[in-house]
Amino acid sequence: MTVMAKPEQTGARTLVEAPALSPTSIAKPDLISVEQAKALDVARITDLFKAHLNPGQLHFMKLLGFHKVKIERAEGMFYIDQNGRNILDFFGGFGSLAFGHNHPRILEARKKFQEEKRQEIAIAFMSQYAAALAHNIAKCSPGDLDMVFLGSSGSEAMEAAVKLAERAAGPKRPKIVYAENSFHGKTKGVLAITDGQLYRADFKVADNVVRVPFADIDAVERLFESDPEIGVIVLETIQGGGGIIQAEAQYWQKLRALCDQHGVLWVADEVQCGYGRSGRFYAFEHYGVVPDVTALAKSLGAGKAAVGAMIARRDVYMKAYGTPKTAMIHAMATFGGMGEACVTAIEGINVLYDEGLIDNAASTGEYLLQRLQALKEKYPKIIKDVRGKGFMIGLEFHDFSQTLPMVLRPIVSVLDDKLKGSLSGFVGSLLLRDYDVLVAFTEYNRNVIRLEPPLICRPEHVDRFVDAFDSLLSRGIVAIVKDFVKSQVGK
């Protein structure tokens, strides 16, 4: 029996014939196998990306020359492309690759889990792996941060953190403070506290939020004193998308005191700056303070699994979800606490300490900062600032006109706003093309190159990167622009 949609009800829709009610077999679509996927060439990947993923994003990849690269494999600090090039990774997946690519201990833990056919999804039962991971995260967390929610991403972890804090603050204190140039995720809830018009677009976001300048403690104090409905403040300890921006120790210490004084809950977003990247497990530990709630993700999955976590003080957690009636309001979702993901994260945290990677982030990160500061002194008309902690570093260029010969500056300065980010793009593109080095950028200050290499990065990797960067800048801005323009010919 065949059922057809009525033409008058379909409008401009394409009519399709419904399948038989009792089909004898279902034909397999024209699918790509795993081996075929592995063998795809750059041209075919481009076609599929354009057809099924993000055509607009492809435009920017072409500008940078990244669309020409097919990664065949990755190991340690390096990607290896289709031509056998070893590409030094100073991007690190926005901080997702603490252990570099395919760390042998991580691979072995996952392989053993698979070989023993252990349970992956066990929602009906308690998971020994989720319980152990929660224990490990709590042990790594200072103060009384000991209640853990497991998810699959930074956005999910931050959604959980904000929801928990809002419930604990209570219905009489519904307002949430966030900072200018903040980034807390792209999902609908945390979009309200992500300060970027690009991401907010024309979505309707929650209106119980108040924005303050980042690192301005006087503004926070005035707000707390003037508005008794404020119950939560959410801040990145180091702003990533804002251009690797930090606040002084006094800011965090005064913030903790103000929160205690006014009964406001402090949520610290450590999704990008946490997990050892700053030279401490949490970046806020540098300042001798502990928030009420925090969140991790990125490298928590050890570069092989999608894992995020919210960590809260027990009293705050119990206030929000501490009874049988409220316990399931925000319990783990289907993929929160999956077996192999948890095993991966458990092994990762052990490797983090066994191999001294937090200490390495502090010491080798300091060496990287020193070498970049030397470059700033060498190229003062190009490099405006170098800043950061550990392996979370921002390198900011001057506006484009200021890097050019004096005679050209007045002409080009009127275009500085439109040209913002162009020099970062030129440098990033040429570093990859000519020096086999990959770097990243920041969302809000486009003049900043973001450096977040794996925590396994050693001084010799720093030297290779800085020497390449030095060699490129020594060409001079005019030559860099010409070289970039040449690279665009024939695309």
**Each residue's pLDDT expressed in tens, for the chain with a length of 491 residues:** 444 444 455 556 667 676 666 667 899 999 999 999 999 999 999 999 999 999 999 988 888 889 999 999 999 999 999 999 999 999 999 999 999 999 999 999 999 999 999 988 878 889 999 999 999 999 999 999 999 999 999 999 999 999 999 999 999 999 999 999 999 999 999 999 999 888 999 999 999 999 999 999 999 999 999 999 999 999 999 999 999 999 999 999 999 999 999 999 999 999 999 999 999 999 999 999 999 999 999 999 999 999 999 999 999 999 999 999 999 999 888 899 999 999 999 999 999 999 999 999 999 999 999 999 999 999 999 999 999 999 999 999 998 767 767 766 665 655 556 667 788 999 999 999 999 999 999 889 989 999 999 999 999 999 999 999 999 999 998 898 888 887 776 55
Structure token pair of residue 423? 């020099």
CB atoms within 10 A of CB 381: 12
Task: State whether residue 252 is helix, strand or coil.
Answer: helix
What pTM was computed for the model?
Answer: 0.91
Q: How far is CA 471 from CA 176, 179, 271, 396, 458, in A?
A: 47, 38, 34, 18, 20
DSSP for 263-300 reads TPEEEEE-TTTTTTTTSSSSGGGGGT---SEEEE-GGG
Cα 146 from Cα 310, distance rounded (Å):
10
Of 417, 424, 413, nearest to 382 by C-alpha is 424
- Helix (H) or strand (E) holding 207, with range, is none
